[in-house]
Amino acid sequence: MPKNDNINNIIDHKLFSEDDIHQMCVKLGKQLTTDYAGKKPLIVGALKGAIFFLTDLVREMDIKAEIDFLDVSSYGNEMESSGKVKLISDLATDVKDRDVLIVEDIVDTGLTLDFMKELLKKRGAKSVKCCVLLNKEANRKVDVDVEYYGSKVGNEFVVGYGLDFMNYYRNLRYIGVLKPEIIKLVNNK
Ligand SMILES: O=P(O)(O)OC[C@H]1O[C@H](OP(=O)(O)OP(=O)(O)O)[C@H](O)[C@@H]1O
Ligand code: HPA
Protein backbone atom coordinates (compact mmCIF):
# COMPACT_ATOMS: atom_id res chain seq x y z
CA MET A 1 0.00 0.00 0.00
CA PRO A 2 1.31 3.52 -0.73
CA LYS A 3 2.69 5.23 2.38
CA ASN A 4 1.21 8.58 1.47
CA ASP A 5 -2.37 8.84 2.70
CA ASN A 6 -3.58 11.15 -0.08
CA ILE A 7 -6.30 9.08 -1.67
CA ASN A 8 -5.95 10.69 -5.10
CA ASN A 9 -2.32 9.45 -5.45
CA ILE A 10 -3.25 5.95 -6.49
CA ILE A 11 -5.30 7.07 -9.50
CA ASP A 12 -3.88 6.75 -13.02
CA HIS A 13 -6.69 8.67 -14.66
CA LYS A 14 -10.22 9.78 -13.92
CA LEU A 15 -12.98 7.82 -15.68
CA PHE A 16 -16.14 9.48 -14.34
CA SER A 17 -16.37 12.86 -12.62
CA GLU A 18 -18.89 13.66 -9.90
CA ASP A 19 -21.01 15.32 -12.56
CA ASP A 20 -20.84 12.27 -14.87
CA ILE A 21 -22.00 10.09 -11.98
CA HIS A 22 -24.79 12.51 -11.12
CA GLN A 23 -26.02 12.45 -14.74
CA MET A 24 -26.06 8.64 -14.72
CA CYS A 25 -28.11 8.63 -11.48
CA VAL A 26 -30.59 11.15 -12.90
CA LYS A 27 -31.06 9.13 -16.11
CA LEU A 28 -31.44 5.80 -14.33
CA GLY A 29 -33.72 7.33 -11.68
CA LYS A 30 -36.09 8.65 -14.36
CA GLN A 31 -36.20 5.28 -16.13
CA LEU A 32 -36.84 3.39 -12.88
CA THR A 33 -39.55 5.88 -11.86
CA THR A 34 -41.37 5.06 -15.08
CA ASP A 35 -40.79 1.30 -14.98
CA TYR A 36 -41.69 0.82 -11.30
CA ALA A 37 -44.63 3.23 -11.18
CA GLY A 38 -47.34 1.82 -8.86
CA LYS A 39 -45.19 -1.15 -7.76
CA LYS A 40 -43.66 -0.26 -4.32
CA PRO A 41 -40.42 -2.18 -4.97
CA LEU A 42 -37.95 -3.38 -2.39
CA ILE A 43 -34.59 -1.87 -3.22
CA VAL A 44 -31.74 -4.10 -2.13
CA GLY A 45 -28.34 -2.46 -1.82
CA ALA A 46 -25.32 -4.73 -2.08
CA LEU A 47 -22.89 -3.77 0.64
CA LYS A 48 -20.46 -2.28 0.77
CA GLY A 49 -19.71 -0.99 -2.72
CA ALA A 50 -23.22 0.25 -3.53
CA ILE A 51 -23.60 2.64 -0.58
CA PHE A 52 -23.07 5.93 -2.43
CA PHE A 53 -24.77 4.87 -5.65
CA LEU A 54 -27.85 3.65 -3.79
CA THR A 55 -28.25 6.84 -1.76
CA ASP A 56 -27.92 9.02 -4.87
CA LEU A 57 -30.06 6.80 -7.11
CA VAL A 58 -33.07 6.40 -4.80
CA ARG A 59 -33.32 10.17 -4.40
CA GLU A 60 -33.78 10.41 -8.18
CA MET A 61 -36.68 7.94 -8.02
CA ASP A 62 -40.12 9.44 -7.53
CA ILE A 63 -41.84 6.29 -6.28
CA LYS A 64 -42.73 4.66 -2.97
CA ALA A 65 -39.94 2.16 -2.26
CA GLU A 66 -38.50 0.27 0.68
CA ILE A 67 -34.74 -0.04 1.16
CA ASP A 68 -32.77 -2.92 2.66
CA PHE A 69 -29.20 -4.20 2.42
CA LEU A 70 -27.42 -7.49 1.75
CA ASP A 71 -23.74 -7.78 2.59
CA VAL A 72 -22.06 -10.07 0.10
CA SER A 73 -18.39 -10.40 -0.73
CA SER A 74 -16.23 -12.41 -3.08
CA TYR A 75 -13.05 -10.38 -3.42
CA GLY A 76 -11.91 -9.93 0.19
CA ASN A 77 -8.62 -8.05 -0.13
CA GLU A 78 -7.82 -9.48 -3.56
CA MET A 79 -8.11 -7.97 -7.03
CA GLU A 80 -9.54 -11.12 -8.53
CA SER A 81 -12.77 -12.75 -7.51
CA SER A 82 -12.31 -15.79 -5.27
CA GLY A 83 -15.15 -17.32 -7.30
CA LYS A 84 -17.08 -17.95 -4.09
CA VAL A 85 -19.66 -15.43 -3.00
CA LYS A 86 -20.24 -15.22 0.75
CA LEU A 87 -23.39 -13.92 2.37
CA ILE A 88 -22.04 -11.88 5.25
CA SER A 89 -25.20 -10.20 6.44
CA ASP A 90 -28.77 -10.91 5.33
CA LEU A 91 -31.81 -8.75 4.60
CA ALA A 92 -34.28 -7.92 7.37
CA THR A 93 -37.16 -7.93 4.87
CA ASP A 94 -39.18 -10.86 3.52
CA VAL A 95 -38.92 -10.73 -0.28
CA LYS A 96 -41.82 -13.12 -0.98
CA ASP A 97 -44.09 -11.66 -3.69
CA ARG A 98 -42.07 -8.43 -3.83
CA ASP A 99 -40.68 -6.65 -6.85
CA VAL A 100 -37.01 -6.51 -5.95
CA LEU A 101 -34.45 -4.18 -7.48
CA ILE A 102 -30.84 -4.97 -6.60
CA VAL A 103 -28.53 -1.95 -6.64
CA GLU A 104 -24.84 -2.67 -7.25
CA ASP A 105 -21.75 -0.58 -7.96
CA ILE A 106 -20.24 -2.93 -10.55
CA VAL A 107 -20.85 -6.20 -12.35
CA ASP A 108 -17.57 -7.84 -13.33
CA THR A 109 -17.45 -11.68 -13.43
CA GLY A 110 -21.20 -11.56 -12.68
CA LEU A 111 -20.84 -14.08 -9.82
CA THR A 112 -22.01 -11.72 -7.07
CA LEU A 113 -25.04 -10.49 -8.99
CA ASP A 114 -26.01 -14.00 -10.07
CA PHE A 115 -25.72 -15.22 -6.47
CA MET A 116 -27.99 -12.45 -5.19
CA LYS A 117 -30.55 -12.83 -7.98
CA GLU A 118 -30.82 -16.61 -7.49
CA LEU A 119 -31.09 -16.23 -3.70
CA LEU A 120 -33.94 -13.70 -3.96
CA LYS A 121 -35.77 -15.71 -6.64
CA LYS A 122 -35.54 -18.84 -4.47
CA ARG A 123 -37.11 -16.89 -1.61
CA GLY A 124 -40.16 -16.21 -3.78
CA ALA A 125 -39.68 -12.65 -5.02
CA LYS A 126 -42.22 -11.70 -7.69
CA SER A 127 -39.53 -10.09 -9.84
CA VAL A 128 -35.80 -9.61 -9.40
CA LYS A 129 -33.99 -7.02 -11.51
CA CYS A 130 -30.84 -5.03 -11.02
CA CYS A 131 -29.51 -1.54 -11.50
CA VAL A 132 -25.73 -1.44 -11.70
CA LEU A 133 -23.59 1.67 -12.05
CA LEU A 134 -20.75 0.08 -14.04
CA ASN A 135 -20.93 -2.88 -16.39
CA LYS A 136 -17.53 -4.55 -16.99
CA GLU A 137 -18.40 -7.11 -19.65
CA ALA A 138 -14.92 -8.31 -20.63
CA ASN A 139 -14.48 -10.47 -17.56
CA ARG A 140 -17.88 -12.16 -17.34
CA LYS A 141 -17.90 -15.76 -16.01
CA VAL A 142 -21.64 -16.21 -15.71
CA ASP A 143 -24.42 -15.08 -18.00
CA VAL A 144 -26.50 -12.79 -15.84
CA ASP A 145 -29.08 -10.24 -17.04
CA VAL A 146 -28.16 -6.63 -16.28
CA GLU A 147 -31.45 -4.82 -16.74
CA TYR A 148 -30.22 -1.30 -15.97
CA TYR A 149 -26.70 0.14 -15.92
CA GLY A 150 -25.06 3.55 -15.96
CA SER A 151 -22.07 2.90 -18.19
CA LYS A 152 -19.91 0.14 -19.59
CA VAL A 153 -16.24 0.05 -18.49
CA GLY A 154 -13.22 -1.69 -19.96
CA ASN A 155 -11.22 -4.41 -18.26
CA GLU A 156 -9.51 -2.05 -15.80
CA PHE A 157 -9.60 -1.95 -12.02
CA VAL A 158 -11.68 1.02 -10.97
CA VAL A 159 -11.99 2.67 -7.57
CA GLY A 160 -13.95 5.45 -5.92
CA TYR A 161 -17.60 6.26 -5.25
CA GLY A 162 -17.98 3.06 -3.25
CA LEU A 163 -15.61 0.89 -5.29
CA ASP A 164 -12.64 -0.24 -3.25
CA PHE A 165 -9.10 -1.47 -3.56
CA MET A 166 -8.23 -3.57 -0.49
CA ASN A 167 -11.19 -1.94 1.25
CA TYR A 168 -9.83 1.61 0.81
CA TYR A 169 -10.57 4.49 -1.57
CA ARG A 170 -14.34 4.02 -1.50
CA ASN A 171 -14.56 7.64 -0.35
CA LEU A 172 -13.14 9.17 -3.54
CA ARG A 173 -15.84 11.44 -4.98
CA TYR A 174 -15.11 10.35 -8.56
CA ILE A 175 -14.31 7.01 -10.24
CA GLY A 176 -10.78 6.42 -11.49
CA VAL A 177 -8.53 3.69 -12.82
CA LEU A 178 -5.96 2.36 -10.38
CA LYS A 179 -2.28 3.05 -11.28
CA PRO A 180 -0.58 -0.01 -12.84
CA GLU A 181 2.28 0.20 -10.30
CA ILE A 182 -0.20 -0.28 -7.44
CA ILE A 183 -1.58 -3.37 -9.18
CA LYS A 184 1.98 -4.72 -9.68
CA LEU A 185 2.75 -4.13 -6.02
CA VAL A 186 -0.16 -6.36 -5.05
CA ASN A 187 0.52 -9.01 -7.70
CA ASN A 188 4.17 -9.35 -6.58
CA LYS A 189 3.43 -9.61 -2.87
O1 LIG B 1 -19.16 -9.40 -10.71
P2 LIG B 1 -18.19 -9.78 -9.63
O3 LIG B 1 -16.89 -10.30 -10.19
O4 LIG B 1 -18.78 -10.69 -8.62
O5 LIG B 1 -17.75 -8.43 -8.90
C6 LIG B 1 -18.63 -7.44 -8.47
C7 LIG B 1 -18.68 -7.37 -6.98
O8 LIG B 1 -17.37 -7.17 -6.44
C9 LIG B 1 -17.37 -6.10 -5.52
O10 LIG B 1 -17.73 -6.53 -4.25
P11 LIG B 1 -16.73 -7.13 -3.15
O12 LIG B 1 -16.87 -8.61 -3.11
O13 LIG B 1 -15.36 -6.57 -3.34
O14 LIG B 1 -17.39 -6.52 -1.82
P15 LIG B 1 -17.65 -4.98 -1.46
O16 LIG B 1 -18.91 -4.55 -2.18
O17 LIG B 1 -17.83 -4.99 0.00
O18 LIG B 1 -16.46 -4.18 -1.94
C19 LIG B 1 -18.45 -5.20 -6.09
O20 LIG B 1 -18.96 -4.30 -5.10
C21 LIG B 1 -19.50 -6.17 -6.56
O22 LIG B 1 -20.37 -6.55 -5.51
O1 HPA C 1 -12.87 -2.91 -10.96
C2 HPA C 1 -13.27 -3.15 -9.79
N3 HPA C 1 -13.05 -2.28 -8.77
C4 HPA C 1 -13.46 -2.50 -7.50
N5 HPA C 1 -14.12 -3.59 -7.14
C6 HPA C 1 -14.38 -4.50 -8.10
N7 HPA C 1 -15.03 -5.68 -8.00
C8 HPA C 1 -15.04 -6.22 -9.22
N9 HPA C 1 -14.40 -5.43 -10.11
C10 HPA C 1 -13.98 -4.32 -9.43
| 106 CA from centroid of ligand 2 (Å) | 7
**Is there a catalytic annotation at residue 108?**
yes
Residue 187 domain-assigned (yes or no) = no
Region of 12 on the Ramachandran plot (φ > 0 left; ψ -120 to 50 alpha; else beta):
alpha
ipTM: 0.98
- For residue 58, tell me if it sits in a domain: yes
CB within 8 A of 26, min separation 6: which ones? Answer: 60
The conformational region for residue 141 under phi > 0 = left, psi -120 to 50 = alpha, else beta, is: alpha
The pLDDT of residue 83: 83
Residue 53 counted as domain residue: yes
Report the pLDDT value the prediction gives residue 180, as an integer from 0 to 100: 87
pLDDT tens digits along 116-170: 999 999 999 999 999 999 999 999 999 999 999 999 999 999 999 999 999 999 9
Asked if residue 64 belongs to a domain, the reply is: yes
pLDDT attached to residue 6:
84
Domain contains 163: no
Q: What's the confidence (pLDDT) of residue 17?
A: 98
Task: Tell me: pLDDT of 4 over 70.
Answer: no
**Furthest C-alpha separation in the chain:** 53
Domain membership of residue 71 (yes or no) is yes
Residue 85 DSSP label: -
Helix (H, G, I), strand (E, B) or coil at 77: coil
pTM higher than 0.90, yes or no?
yes
Q: Is residue 170 part of a domain?
A: no
- How high is the pLDDT of residue 3? 57
pLDDT over 80 at 75, yes or no? no
Instruction: Yes or no: say if 136 and 153 are a contact pair by the CB < 8 Å rule.
Output: yes
Q: How many domains does the chain have?
A: 1
Q: Taking the chain, what is the end-to-end CA distance rounded to the nearest angstrom? A: 11
Q: Considering the candidates 56, 99, 105, 108, report the single residue annotated as catalytic.
A: 108
Task: Return the best residue to mutate from 16, 114, 163 for the ligand 2 pocket (most ligand atoms within 8 A of CB).
Answer: 163
In a domain, 180, yes or no: no
Other Cβ atoms closer than 10 A to 131: 24
Instruction: State pLDDT tens for residues 77-129.
Output: 677 777 889 999 999 999 999 999 999 999 999 999 999 999 999 999 999 99
CATH number, residue 78: 3.40.50.2020
Residue range 7-52, pLDDT digits in tens? 889 999 999 999 999 999 999 999 999 999 999 999 999 999 999 9
Question: In which domain, by residue range, is 65 found?
Answer: 17-155
